[in-house]
A and B are shown apart, each in its own frame.
Chain A
């Protein structure tokens, strides 16, 4: 049985995106920020920027470099974009304590405010990159079609995830929030291909996330226990267990001579 997992609800992303945008507009770059915030800068951004740079230096800089330039232990963050940073932090994939090939989903280390601050701080390294998408309500019918065409090959038509080569996996999608799904679509974390707006429009991303949200619900498991939605081999295992346990067991019991 697929566990009913607690879904960490995303914080109000539009607001966070707005904040990021404001910061980007106001702070032209790290230099501008570093050189003592002028009186023009709103008072509210200063603590956030402080928090962001402090957290970054504590948790991220050792691998990604103090200016996000990357090192042998971690890739450059210049130009990855807010969507990528938010995705990695809000799914708990970053920070990691040791180098791993593919970090997996964990409860996020940072609070939504801290993530927001870090997103802003990394954005200050420059380079642009995809913004955190605002996910609107989508239509599940085209969403299903888009999912089948673009996502099902790796994540499975049921969203249960699958294995790739060399120990990489395409994770299950049941825990991902709509924003995280949209971020992953735009960014393409790890080995995942990215789907920029030439390939999928914002509207299509909304439809897609709508369908993933639908897929996540247990309402679709109308037939009963979904066996992890792993498909025919899991079903075969159950069939054998039942045949051996319940049917052959019954036959043995029935055939035992009552008088012996």
Chain B
């Protein structure tokens, strides 16, 4: 009886497998056609998926229906070598002319290799910036300084009246819009509401702070008008601008550095110095 059903079952399985492979081929052709017609990402993906799914189904049915699954055993030699075997290997390793016997030479060789290894580390130094500045030094320095004008994102210098109340204006040092640690923002607040004076001072309520969160350096660009707070999108630190930009919630621990500004003789805003402390995340030698 088994003899009668098996070929039949096998034939049925074979038919299914062949069918699946045909579907796969159809998918592949479909992909080629879709590509040729520029049919778009979705159709390309579907066709390829069908092609591989056909393969998968065919192979899976094959592996389950037409070949023997399971029921085999393989012996495992184990990994504890007999002591005699170990002794033989050791004897080969420590033969009379074996280098392992010449301790002095080995020590000298080791010394040479260590020296080479250490020497090989030296070129790694070239990966450092070419300006040969201490990295902490460049973190502390920003393009801001006395007399640097404040410009907006398109490089236009800003006058005090360009910063109205209830808005946040991103400001940059003139000529340094792309510098990583330079971005700052200007807001105009009611001076009467200041609980603590802004670190960089203010011009009738107009104050400028570093845009970079003191936690991990993301731009704290989310300004909650009216509350006088800015929020960092990365880890939700929030800073109270009315209280000297000190952190009030979230993981940030230090207030935002302020930027001292004045109105220049040309009527444009300009910095009178660098940030009151290095902007962005903290580091070991940060003052």
Q: Are A and B co-members of a single complex? A: yes
Chain B positions 1-58 with a Cβ under 8 Å from a chain A Cβ: 40-42, 45, 56
Q: Which residue of B lies closest to A194 (CB)?
A: B166
A234 CB to closest chain B CB, in angstroms?
Answer: 16
Residue B153 lies at the interface, judged by CB distance under 8 Å to chain A? yes
In the complex, the answer to whether A188 meets B167 with C-beta atoms within 8 Å is yes
Residue A252 lies at the interface, judged by CB distance under 8 Å to chain B? no
Instruction: Chain B residues near A153: list those with CB within 8 A.
Output: 219, 221-222, 233
In the complex, the answer to whether B45 meets A165 with C-beta atoms within 8 Å is no
In the complex, the answer to whether A254 meets B226 with C-beta atoms within 8 Å is no
In the complex, the answer to whether A165 meets B166 with C-beta atoms within 8 Å is no
In the complex, the answer to whether B231 meets A258 with C-beta atoms within 8 Å is no
Instruction: Give bound CA distance, A223 to B44, whole Å.
Output: 11
What 0/1 pattern do residues 238 to 260 of A give for CB contact below 8 A with B?
Answer: 00000000000010011001111
Instruction: Chain B residues near A258: list those with CB within 8 A.
Output: 64-65, 69
Q: Which residue of B lies closest to A224 (CB)?
A: B42
Contact A192:B225 (CB < 8 A) given known A162-B233, A258-B64: yes
Instruction: Give bound CA distance, A198 to B159, whole Å.
Output: 10
Instruction: Chain B residues near A260: list those with CB within 8 A.
Output: 70
In the complex, the answer to whether A193 meets B231 with C-beta atoms within 8 Å is no
Instruction: Chain B residues near A170: list those with CB within 8 A.
Output: 222
On chain A, the number of residues with a Cβ less than 8 Å from chain B's Cβ atoms is 28
A150 CB to closest chain B CB, in angstroms?
Answer: 8
Instruction: Chain A residues near B63: list those with CB within 8 A.
Output: 254
Chain A positions 101-142 with a Cβ under 8 Å from a chain B Cβ: none
Instruction: Give bound CA distance, A258 to B224, whole Å.
Output: 63
Interface residues on B, range: 35 or more
Residue A7 lies at the interface, judged by CB distance under 8 Å to chain B? no
Instruction: Give bound CA distance, A61 to B253, whole Å.
Output: 45
Residue B216 lies at the interface, judged by CB distance under 8 Å to chain A? no
In the complex, the answer to whether B224 meets A165 with C-beta atoms within 8 Å is yes
Q: Which residue of B lies closest to A154 (CB)?
A: B222
In the complex, the answer to whether A191 meets B164 with C-beta atoms within 8 Å is no
Residue B93 lies at the interface, judged by CB distance under 8 Å to chain A? no
What 0/1 pattern do residues 187 to 217 of A give for CB contact below 8 A with B?
Answer: 0101111111011000000000000000000
Among A154, A165, A190, A257, chain B packs the most CB atoms within 10 A around the CB of: A165
Q: Which residue of A lies closest to B158 (CB)?
A: A198
Chain B positions 67-101 with a Cβ under 8 Å from a chain A Cβ: 69-71
In the complex, the answer to whether B60 meets A191 with C-beta atoms within 8 Å is no
Instruction: Chain A residues near B190: list those with CB within 8 A.
Output: none
Of A191, A196, A224, A259, which is within 8 A of B70 by CB? Answer: A259
Residue B161 lies at the interface, judged by CB distance under 8 Å to chain A? yes
Chain A positions 167-199 with a Cβ under 8 Å from a chain B Cβ: 168, 170, 188, 190-196, 198-199
- The 7 tightest CB contacts between A and B, nearest first, are A153-B221, A258-B64, A193-B167, A191-B224, A257-B70, A193-B225, A194-B166
A sample of 6 inter-chain contacts (CB < 8 A) reads A153-B222, A164-B222, A198-B163, A199-B169, A254-B60, A259-B70
